[in-house]
């Protein structure tokens, strides 16, 4: 008798657990509120969105500034590396001139080094530099430093 009561109690508990599990699995399909999608980054940024100080991993910020007063395709921006990055890249004292390639990317006018600066969002970007020799590559995630 005791064994059959224990068996019946276990069966009831198992049935309740299966029912609860099934209800939880079905709940999203039964009209549960959908989770909000994160906002998408704009597909195009104004040239002014690229300008300013940008930093990574506590390194002194690099700076992007306007080189002329033009807008759109004629606009030129200057990329000035911080002293630690100048030392790593061997580009001390140089300002790399950039033009807007598309709505999210700036590219260097010359290929020494080939440079791209891509906005991922208003506050994050990626700097990529590639030299002429094999292995001369820099991929640096950045965030606004202001």
Instruction: Give the model confidence (pLDDT) of 49-62 as tens digits.
Output: 999 999 998 899 99
| CATH match for 47-144 among 3.30.1480, 4.10.280, 2.60.40, 2.40.128 | 2.40.128
What are residue 4's phi and psi, to 5 degrees? Answer: -70, -35
- For residues 112 and 90, give the distance between their C-alpha atoms in angstroms, rounded to a whole number: 11
Report the pLDDT value the prediction gives residue 19, as an integer from 0 to 100.
41
Report the pLDDT value the prediction gives residue 140, as an integer from 0 to 100.
96
State the SS3 of the chain: CHHHHHHHHHHHHHHHHHHHHHHHHHHHHHCCCCCCCCCCCCCCCCHHHCCEEEECCCCCCEEEEECCCCCHHHCEEEEECCHHHHHHHCCCCCEEEEEECCCCEEEECCCCCEEEEEEEECCEEEEEEECCCCCCEEEEEEEECC
* Full pLDDT tens readout for the chain, 146 residues: 444 444 444 444 444 434 434 444 444 455 556 566 655 656 788 888 999 999 998 899 999 999 888 777 778 999 999 999 999 899 999 999 999 999 999 999 988 899 999 999 999 999 999 998 888 999 999 999 98
Instruction: Give the model confidence (pLDDT) of 70-95 as tens digits.
Output: 777 778 999 999 999 999 899 999 99
Q: How many CB atoms lie within 10 A of CB 143?
A: 14
Percent of all residues in the chain with a pLDDT value above 70, rounded to a whole number = 71
């Amino acid at each position: 008798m005791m064994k059959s009561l224990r068996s019946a109690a276990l069966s009831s508990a198992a049935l309740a657990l299966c029912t609860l599990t099934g209800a939880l699995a079905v709940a999203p399909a039964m009209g549960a509120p959908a989770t909000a999608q994160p906002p998408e980054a704009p597909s195009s940024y104004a040239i002014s969105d690229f300008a300013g100080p940008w930093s990574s991993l506590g390194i002194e910020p690099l700076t992007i500034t306007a080189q002329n007063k033009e807008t759109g395709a004629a606009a030129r921006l200057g990329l000035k590396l911080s002293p630690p990055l100048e030392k790593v890249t061997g580009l001390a004292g140089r300002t790399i001139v950039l033009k807007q390639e598309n709505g999210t990317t700036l590219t260097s006018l010359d290929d020494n080094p080939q440079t791209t600066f891509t906005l991922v969002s208003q506050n994050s970007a990626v700097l990529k530099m590639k030299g002429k020799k094999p292995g001369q590559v820099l991929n640096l995630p950045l965030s606004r430093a202001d």
